[in-house]
């Protein structure tokens, strides 16, 4: 009987520990941080936005901005979680991490699934094309008119933009991310690669002169997008505290100095733009 009683205690203890862990794991991240626990940030490998360095060190200007704001909140215990772009929103909502820092555009469809912080910047897209731009691609209409193939990332905003511009689904090649987009253009499997302007510049550098970047000003103004940090809908207190800290940090000398190495300048600052406007209009 004593042995059974002890086994019962062990089982009960294990169950209690499991329930306690589950409750902590599901708690609002702000409460976790106040309790001294680690906040997990999720991002993909998107240079120079957010990408892993040695030992998954969170690099890139969006990571830098997000970490600066979290630091203003007194949150310094951070665990980076790197995943493919398409897994970021599902991973956040499955509690695999607490916030998405990965340079995500605030789009209406995404606003249905996550809550965004106030914008941290405004950005445009561009194409990478083979050196010399042999097909003369500058716009989505060029791609449509020439029957060209556009490579872009699965889950990227460019997939929806291409549809709105009338490009056939069969002419849009969806791949995991920037590395595969560059490979497709270099190999001639795609005539253009659709990415953010910052990413395009980085891919052109990586290509050793094999690809070049089109003029982002040639794309429609309505394709400009605002970037925010993404939270679960249920983490309202965390989001409110983050936005409060962001107001004094965004555009500050400390922030601008920290992001300068990644090419973020005052021209990318969000100004008076709002998340509500982006959710309703993008």
Does any domain span residue 6?
no
**41 pLDDT exceeds 90?**
yes
**6 pLDDT exceeds 80?**
no
Secondary structure tally for the chain: helices H, strands E:
12, 13
Same domain, 216 and 242: no
Does any domain span residue 21?
no
The whole-number pLDDT of residue 26 equals 59
> Among 20-34, 53-67, 118-132, 147-161, whose mean pLDDT is lowest?
20-34
CATH code, 100: 3.40.190.10
Number of domains in the chain: 2
Domain boundary among 223, 239, 260: 223
Q: Kindly report, residue by residue over 150-208, the tens digit of the pLDDT.
A: 999 999 999 999 999 999 999 999 999 999 999 999 999 999 999 999 999 999 999 99
Same domain, 112 and 97: yes
The whole-number pLDDT of residue 214 equals 96
Same domain, 138 and 112: no
Average pLDDT over residues 223-248: 97
Same domain, 165 and 185: yes
Does any domain span residue 265?
yes
Same domain, 37 and 174: no
Checking DSSP bridges between strand 99-105 and strand 211-213, what pairing results, if any?
A: unpaired
Same domain, 234 and 108: yes
Same domain, 61 and 185: no
- Kindly indicate the confidence band of residue 274, based on its pLDDT and cuts at 50, 70 and 90: very high
- Output the CA torsion 254→247→100→273 (10° steps): -110
Same domain, 59 and 172: no
**59 pLDDT exceeds 90?**
yes
Quick one: DSSP state of residue 38?
Answer: P
Same domain, 198 and 233: no
Same domain, 92 and 139: no
Please give the Cα distance from 181 to 177 (Å, whole number). 6
**21 pLDDT exceeds 50?**
no
Does any domain span residue 130?
yes
Does any domain span residue 40?
yes
Does any domain span residue 18?
no
Q: Which residues lie closer than 8 Å to 123 by C-beta, 6 or more apart?
A: 105, 196, 197, 198, 224, 225, 226, 227, 268
Q: What is the DSSP string of 172-227?
A: EEEESSHHHHHHHHHHTS-SEEEEEHHHHHHHHHHTTTSEEE--GGGS-GGG-EEE
Average pLDDT over residues 86-96: 96
Which domain does 237 fall in, by range? 28-122+225-281
Domain boundary among 205, 223, 241: 223
Does any domain span residue 17?
no
Please give the Cα distance from 162 to 141 (Å, whole number). 9
The whole-number pLDDT of residue 55 equals 87
**Cβ atoms 213, 127 nearer than 8 A:** yes
Same domain, 114 and 246: yes
**209 pLDDT exceeds 70?**
yes
Q: What rounded mean pLDDT belongs to the chain?
A: 91
Domain boundary among 223, 243, 269: 223
How many CB atoms are located within 10 Å of the residue 107 CB? 17
**Cβ atoms 103, 116 nearer than 8 A:** no
Quick one: DSSP state of residue 50?
Answer: B
Same domain, 218 and 152: yes
């Amino acid at each position: 009987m004593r042995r059974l009683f002890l086994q019962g205690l062990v089982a009960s203890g294990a169950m209690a520990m499991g329930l306690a862990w589950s409750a902590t794991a599901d708690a609002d991240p702000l409460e976790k941080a106040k309790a001294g626990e680690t906040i997990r940030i999720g991002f993909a490998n998107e240079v120079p936005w957010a990408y892993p360095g040695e030992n998954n060190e969170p690099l890139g200007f969006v990571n830098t901005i997000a970490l600066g704001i979290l630091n203003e909140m007194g949150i310094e215990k951070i665990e980076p979680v790197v995943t493919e772009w398409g897994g970021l929103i599902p991973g956040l909502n499955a509690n695999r991490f607490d916030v998405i820092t990965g340079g995500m555009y605030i789009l209406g469809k995404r606003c249905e699934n996550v809550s965004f912080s106030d914008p941290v910047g405004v950005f445009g897209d561009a194409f990478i094309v083979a050196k010399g731009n042999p097909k003369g691609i500058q716009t989505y209409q060029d791609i449509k008119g020439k029957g060209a193939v556009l490579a872009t990332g699965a889950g990227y905003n460019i997939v929806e933009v291409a549809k709105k511009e009338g490009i056939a689904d069969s002419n849009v090649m969806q791949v995991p991310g920037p590395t595969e987009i560059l490979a497709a253009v270099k190999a001639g499997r795609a005539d253009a690669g659709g990415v953010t302007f910052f990413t395009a510049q980085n891919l052109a550098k990586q290509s050793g002169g094999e690809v070049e970047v089109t003029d982002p000003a040639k794309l429609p103004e309505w394709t400009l997008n605002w970037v925010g940090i993404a939270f679960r809908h249920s983490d309202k207190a965390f989001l409110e505290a983050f936005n409060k800290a962001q107001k004094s940090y965004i555009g500050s000398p400390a922030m601008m100095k920290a992001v300068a190495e990644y090419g973020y300048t005052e021209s990318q600052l969000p100004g008076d733009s709002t998340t509500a406007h982006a959710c309703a209009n993008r």
